[in-house]
Amino acid sequence: MRASTPSGLAVRWRRLRTLMRREARATLRDPFTVTMLIAVPLGALLAFGYTLAVNVKDLALGVHDASGTAASRRLVAELAANGTFAPRRFATRDRVERALVAGRISAAVIIPPDFDRELREQAAGGRPAEIQVLYDGGETVVAGNAEGFLQGIAAATGTALVRDQRIAPGGGERTNGGGAPPRAGPATNGVKVVTRVLFNPTLDGTPFMVSGTFGFVLTFLTTLITAVSIVNEKLTGTFEQLQVTPATSGEIVLGKILPLGAVFTLDVVLMVTLGGVLLGVWPAGSLVFFIVVACFYVLISLALGLIFSATSATAAEAVQKTVLFSIPLNFLGGFIFPVRNMPFVFRQLSQVLPATHFIEISRAIYLRAAGPLALAPRLALLGLFGVILMAMAFRTVARRA
């Protein structure tokens, strides 16, 4: 028995080696699997590395400079100097607030008309000059980071401005009439930032996540169910039976996605109801408007699932494509991490995902009570994606017929 043991171990090792070689060859022969094995880890690494970063970079910042003095212009220039903010000037405060509602900016700075006079008084020992900062509390991560950066920049710049005010034009220090230098007092504290949180004063993260969940669920689930169900029909032969009937490819596509669209529309209504009853999060805007937009987005996701299914040989391949698509959705679509907080390249990549625009629309309706006019650019882009994906679905089905 002892003599046979090494032989038995050798035989088992040869079998194992053969099986391993066979599996490796089968894996390497499948280009899609090889691509997923390489691209998914690298993509996840880059996505986590960039989208989980808490640094604010090139954040759209609205500026209403009612002072229009050298001091206020210097403050705005300092805000843009290190690349943290990208200031956009607005002529009136009303336009700034409309831009916040529309989502074109995440924060705003309001410089009062008497800013320069307040600086002079502060240099003489008076109370600190003030500016007001408005920011969208719906995006809690961006709001917290933006406020911290603004506080730091305003403090540093304000201290420098006050110091300059205390230096007389001839190079000496200003005096308080009697020749004595001014008191330091609060002048070393810089400019005081008075913050006002819009749309989510408590900075509760629940509304942000609830409104974004619609985009994730309606993208991932609808795409997955459509892709798998139609691939299964192809494997059983029922889909080919449809293709030999007099029905056109357009009729087949609509016959598939419209019933599923009705089911997912009911899901949207249930999600809205449960979110409101259990979590206390209701849309601040029009509920009807939100459901209409969600229904249209369901059709977009179903068309995408139809494209995945028509180009997949098995249900497993359809699932892999859906999961692969969901990775950029999670990290680049703004579901978890705000798009505004991402580097420029990733912000641009996010714009090619329909989910990015729907999540923005969902949060704008839920948190900012935005209406169709404020969301017109996003709605137009979403409509363009719908036309393109539906046309691709029709063409894909017709080609497979």
54-71 pLDDT per residue, tens: 456 677 888 999 988 888
Phi, psi for residue 60 in degrees, rounded to 5: -65, 120
| CA nearest neighbour of 146 among 100, 197, 107, 201 | 107
Do residues 123 and 89 make contact, with C-beta atoms less than 8 angstroms apart? Answer: no
Task: Decide if 343 contacts 196 (C-beta within 8 A).
Answer: no
CATH C-level class of 59-198: alpha beta
Quote the crossing angle between the two packed helices 287-310 and 206-236, to the nearest 10°: 40
**What residue ranges do the domains of the chain occupy?**
59-198, 206-400
- Mean pLDDT highest for which of 249-253, 282-286, 392-396? 282-286
Question: CA–CA separation, 273 vs 269, rounded Å?
Answer: 6
How far apart CA 98 and CA 364 sit, in angstroms, is 12
Helix axes 354-368, 206-236, angle to 10 degrees: 140
| pLDDT above 70: percentage of residues in the chain | 70
Identity of the amino acid at 210: V
The backbone region for 223, taken as left when phi is positive above 0, alpha when psi lies in -120 to 50, beta otherwise, is alpha
Tokens 């009853």 found at: 277
Q: What mean pLDDT, rounded, does the chain reach?
A: 75
Q: How confident is the model at residue 165 (pLDDT cuts 50, 70, 90)?
A: low
pLDDT tens digits, 2-31 = 444 454 444 467 766 676 676 567 667 767
Helix, strand counts (H, E) of the chain = 14, 5
Contact (CB, 8 A) for 141 and 54: yes
Instruction: Determine the Cα–Cα distance for residues 98 and 117; give it in Å rounded to an integer.
Output: 29
Query: What is the token pair recorded at 193?
Result: 């930032």
pTM equals 0.67
Sheet of strand 130-136, all strands in order from the earlier edge strand to the far edge: 85-89, 59-65, 107-111, 130-136, 192-198
pLDDT at residue 178 is higher than 50: no
Q: pLDDT grade, residue 224 (50/70/90)?
A: confident
